Amino acid sequence: MRGEHVEALESTVRSLNERLNALANLVNELMVNVSLIREQVEEVTTNLGSLTSQVSYLNTAVGELQSSAVQTNTAIGDLQNLASQNNTELNALGIQVNQLATNLGSLQSEVEQYDTAIDTLTSRLASVTASLATVQAELNQLTAPIRAVREQLTQLNGSTVTIDTDAGTITGEVISVGTDYVEIEEPSGAIVLIPLSNINLVDAA
């Protein structure tokens, strides 16, 4: 009956380990996605700053051309041709300013979308991290009996012990203790490897 319980525990531990690995992979994937989105946001923010500088520069240029147009309108003769040329340039720059303003609004919208995506991924990451902690706690609880047996046998390394297992009782000297097994040398000289999960009781001789 205890063997079936141990097998069920081992199955549960394996399942939890698989869930732990899957959650860890999901955390890594989410962290990569967050990093990529942050890089894109930084690139868009850089472009936004550049466009803002261009708009400021063009607004200054428009002001200068408007001043030149006023001066040109007060001139006579050939200065009127220069005024006409400046007005044409002013219109062209005005179109560029409007286009850049439109692009600026679009980039601001993209930045807001990226911020929303980052918030969503951050929330999912927090949820996955909490689930990971829960699974780890369950795993620690299930493996606690095995750890206790391992610690007891480690302290008895080199000593003669009697070990009760589902398959029977074995007496011998503890040769070594592994992660999930113990190596026993029987009085006959035979070496026996016993899985820690199969051990019901350890009694020091």
Model confidence pLDDT, tens digit, residues 142-179: 666 889 999 999 999 999 999 999 899 999 999 999 99
Task: Tell me the residue type at 70.
Answer: V
Predicted pLDDT of residue 63: 80
Which pLDDT band, with edges at 50, 70 and 90, does 187 fall under? very high
Which pLDDT band, with edges at 50, 70 and 90, does 72 fall under? low
Q: Which of 118, 96, 91 is nearest to 35 (CA)?
A: 118
Instruction: Order across the sheet with 199-204: list the strands.
Output: 191-195, 181-185, 168-177, 160-165, 199-204
Overall pTM surpassing 0.75 (yes/no):
no
Task: State how many domains the chain has.
Answer: 1
Predicted pLDDT of residue 203: 92
Is residue 118 situated within a structural domain?
A: no
Is residue 26 situated within a structural domain?
A: no
Radius of gyration of the chain (CA): 38
Is residue 23 situated within a structural domain?
A: no
Residues 88, 111: Cα–Cα separation, whole Å: 35
Is residue 166 situated within a structural domain?
A: yes
Residues 94, 59: Cα–Cα separation, whole Å: 9
| CATH, residue 189 | 2.30.30.100
Is residue 182 situated within a structural domain?
A: yes
Is residue 187 situated within a structural domain?
A: yes
Q: Which domain holds residue 164?
A: 157-204
Is residue 194 situated within a structural domain?
A: yes
Is residue 8 situated within a structural domain?
A: no
Residue 188 or residue 25, greater confidence? 188
Query: Mean pLDDT, to the nearest integer, of 174-196?
Result: 95
pLDDT in tens, 9-64: 777 878 888 888 888 788 788 887 878 888 887 887 888 777 778 877 878 877 88
Query: Mean pLDDT, to the nearest integer, of 177-196?
Result: 95
Under a CB-based contact definition with an 8 Å cutoff, are residues 161 and 171 in contact?
A: yes
Predicted pLDDT of residue 198: 92
pLDDT in tens, 103-139: 888 888 888 888 888 888 888 888 888 888 787 777 6
Q: At residue 192, does pLDDT exceed 80? A: yes
Predicted pLDDT of residue 83: 65
